[in-house]
């Protein structure tokens, strides 16, 4: 059974930073593509960043390029999302997701497993 557990969310002022973590257990390894998505109130879940399995290739939504960094620690089976220069519009629940394949995707439907999310609130 796969389990993804996010942590690191919180309340932060605009311009601040947070580091989100997603600990994976079960049949998830460095071979799996992983992603971060977010969902603001009354909005659809949107892609934020992804990292492929094996090669570790990364990809970002245009809205977060240069401010967000996704990484993975294969020894800990954990992925991270470093968020810098936070803006009020980054306020959302952030979700970690894992795909059965190694390639990454920006499509919600490409991911088979999801965490419960961690809340990020940015005050202006």
Q: pLDDT tens digit string along 76-114?
A: 999 999 999 999 999 999 999 999 888 889 999 999 999
> 123 — phi, psi (to 5°)?
-95, 145
Question: Using one digit for the tens of pLDDT, what is the confidence trace for 19-40?
Answer: 999 999 998 888 999 999 999 9
Q: Which element (helix H / strand E) includes 24?
A: strand 18-25
Mean pLDDT value across the chain: 95
Sign of the dihedral through C-alpha 92, 105, 65, 10: positive
């Amino acid at each position: 059974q796969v389990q993804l557990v996010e942590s690191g969310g919180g309340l932060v002022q605009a311009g601040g930073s947070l580091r989100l973590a997603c600990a994976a257990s079960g049949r998830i390894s460095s071979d799996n593509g992983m992603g971060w998505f977010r969902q603001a109130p009354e909005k659809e879940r949107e892609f934020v960043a992804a990292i492929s399995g094996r090669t570790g290739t990364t990809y970002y939504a245009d809205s977060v390029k240069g401010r967000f960094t996704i990484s993975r620690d294969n020894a800990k089976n954990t992925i991270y999302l470093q968020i810098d220069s936070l803006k009020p519009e980054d306020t959302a629940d952030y979700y970690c997701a894992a795909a059965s394949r190694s390639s990454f995707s920006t499509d919600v439907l490409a991911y088979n497993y999801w965490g419960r999310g961690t809340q990020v609130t940015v005050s202006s």
